Amino acid sequence: MKPLTKSAYMRAKACRRLAWIEAREGRHQAEATAAEKLRRDLGESLSRCAQDLFPGGLSAWHKGMSEEQARTATAALVADPSVPAIFEAAFLVDGLSARADVLERTPDGWILHEVKSGKTPKNGHFEDLAFQVRVLEKAGIRVRGTGLIMLNPAYRGGMPLDGLHLLTRFDTGSETSALRAKVARRVVELQEVLEGPEPAPARVTECRECLLMARCWGELPPDDILFLSGARSRKMAAWEGQGWTRIGDLPASELSPQQIAAQEAIRFGAAWRDGPAPAPTGPIAYVDFESEMPAIPYLPDCGPFEDAPYQFSCWIEEEPRTLAREEAFLWPQTEDELGLDPRPLFVEALLRAVEGAETIVFYSGFETDLLKRLTRAGIPGAERALELFETRGFDLEKVVKQQVRHPDLRGYTSIKQVLPALCPEMALEYKTLPGVANGDDAGVAIAEMRSPQTIQSRRAERAAELLAYCGLDARAMAHVLWAIQDLPAAP
Ligand code: SF4
């Protein structure tokens, strides 16, 4: 059986069956996407930066080394009192395995530091540390404190890219200590589960993304409670306990208004529109923004994870059901534009695109929220753009929530779910897009376009992909609106 790692321990909290299977077969996961690789690269570069905070520290692991070699190196570094800190220290004891990001030596014991790519500590981080403390102490390491090393909220684009500027430390000693007894108990319980018989599947929210879905559940009916929006693990367990496994079985007293609407559509078995057909006044601008929240900001007045818009598409409908033209903005399309702040350019182009529209259609509060942040940041024109979005805005998602009853939606209202239900032929267009077909792909493409290392022909190729993707997102909104207008009235 494979040793229990901290990530297996954290995953087991969601599903013990998954932990049991993975202990025997290894991790079941899809090949990492380009976006996941980018996030992994970020984690690795932050870990390297964190080493700046511990001068004289040495790494117990280098690329190409096995876990066993890393453990041997760790033991040697622990035994050498001249080493002030150990990076990537590896331990295996009593079936538990841990890799500590940083172990800092002090006269009266070690401080365990974990490097995370967020800005604020979360409960899961403390439990993660408590698990590692359990392993380290079993291995005979006296841990006298724990801490998190995270992105420094005061870091701004252009500052030196080293640990001293980019990162900050949090002392998590008391939070971790408070969890130690609980984690120790959970580890023992989990090890008993792992050594016992294969646990039966249980409906948990994680099933929805799990690669073992077919193995655990076979072919579930589309109205299984597992597919109901807002159904959390604990609720589903309680429903299963009552013998309710289909959305139609659930009593209204158990459901939110949105879930009740979903249940009605499933029971009826066909789509309808609740209320009169929405008829926004033309000309109509259908607008979609793309922005990124880089962990390491590139603009001088932006901190980690601050929104930076880089693209919009705006389709104009002047005559009913005819998209006359597209206005689009994308930065940076050439190397010369790399030094520019995209935000004023974005707003300027946006104002030009939407000024003549009587109605501005967008999907969810994302666009107005972004304009609020740009207004607060003092970007010229952002206040006017926000005013236009607030006075002429038409949030299509709100209309979907209030009026669309469709058996395939099961309470979900994101455009990615609504489009295939209402406009299946348009949803297929996403499959024909070259390179960029979702938000994650877009994030990877813009990161590549922003890189000074990217050659111009590649930047142009990525630009074409992003323009096609964002243009389709905006066009899709028009088709969703028209499909809602065409739905039959309430039965
Ligand atoms: S499909 Fe669900 S029950 Fe099966 S292993 Fe995955 S999370 Fe667990």
How is the chain split into domains, by residue range? 6-195, 220-268, 284-486
Long-range Cβ contacts of 305-309 (<8 Å, 24+ apart): 305/119, 305/151, 306/373, 307/370, 307/373, 308/342, 308/343, 309/342, 309/343, 309/346, 309/370, 309/374
Contact 331, 346 (CB under 8 A): yes
Tell me the C-alpha distance between 289 and 314, whole Å: 9
* Residue whose C-alpha is closest to residue 407's, from 269, 278, 312, 226: 269
Structure tokens at 225: 């409670």
If you take atom 4 of ligand 1, which residue's CA is the nearest one? 216
The per-residue pLDDT for 1 is 87
Pocket of ligand 1 (CB under 6 A): 15, 17-18, 201-202, 204, 206-207, 210, 212-213, 216
167-171 sheet: strands from edge to edge: 58-59, 85-93, 96-106, 109-115, 143-151, 167-171
Q: Which residues of the chain have pLDDT under 70?
A: none
The per-residue pLDDT for 25 is 94
Calculate the dihedral angle through the C-alpha atoms of 334, 335, 336, 341, rounding to the nearest 10 degrees: 90
* Residue whose C-alpha is closest to residue 346's, from 403, 397, 287: 287
Atom of ligand 1 nearest to the CA of 213: 1
Tell me the C-alpha distance between 333 and 275, whole Å: 45
Tell me the one-letter amino acid at 435.
Answer: G
- Maximal CA-CA distance, the chain: 79
CA of 42: how far to CAs of 32, 129, 293, in Å?
A: 14, 20, 13
List of E strands, 341-463: 359-362, 393-395, 404-405
Tell me the C-alpha distance between 484 and 44, whole Å: 46
284-486 topology per CATH: Nucleotidyltransferase; domain 5 (3.30.420)
- Compute the distance from residue 202 Cα to the ligand 1 centre, in Å: 7
The per-residue pLDDT for 490 is 83
> Which helix (H) or strand (E) segment is 105 a member of?
strand 96-106
- Compute the distance from residue 182 Cα to the ligand 1 centre, in Å: 24
Q: Is 303 exposed, middle or buried (0-12, 13-18, 19+ CB in 10 A)?
A: middle
The per-residue pLDDT for 491 is 77
The per-residue pLDDT for 440 is 95
6-195 topology per CATH: Lambda Exonuclease; Chain A (3.90.320)
**DSSP class per residue in 129-151:** HHHHHHHHHHTT--EEEEEEEEE
CA of 182: how far to CAs of 106, 179, 367, 464, in Å?
A: 27, 5, 43, 53
> Which helix (H) or strand (E) segment is 460 a member of?
helix 456-486
User: Parallel, antiparallel, or unpaired: how do β-strands 323-330 and 272-273 relate?
Assistant: unpaired
If you take atom 2 of ligand 1, which residue's CA is the nearest one? 207
- Compute the distance from residue 22 Cα to the ligand 1 centre, in Å: 11
Q: Note the pTM of the prediction, 2 decimals.
A: 0.93
- Compute the distance from residue 213 Cα to the ligand 1 centre, in Å: 6
The per-residue pLDDT for 136 is 97
DSSP label of 430:
G
- Compute the distance from residue 183 Cα to the ligand 1 centre, in Å: 22
The per-residue pLDDT for 448 is 96
435-454 b/e with 16+ CB inside 10 Å = b? bbbeeebbbbbbbbbbeeeb
Q: Within a 10 A sphere around the Cβ of 147, how many other Cβ atoms?
A: 19
The per-residue pLDDT for 459 is 97
Candidates 216, 217, 219: which one to mutate for ligand 1, based on the most atoms within 8 Å of Cβ?
216
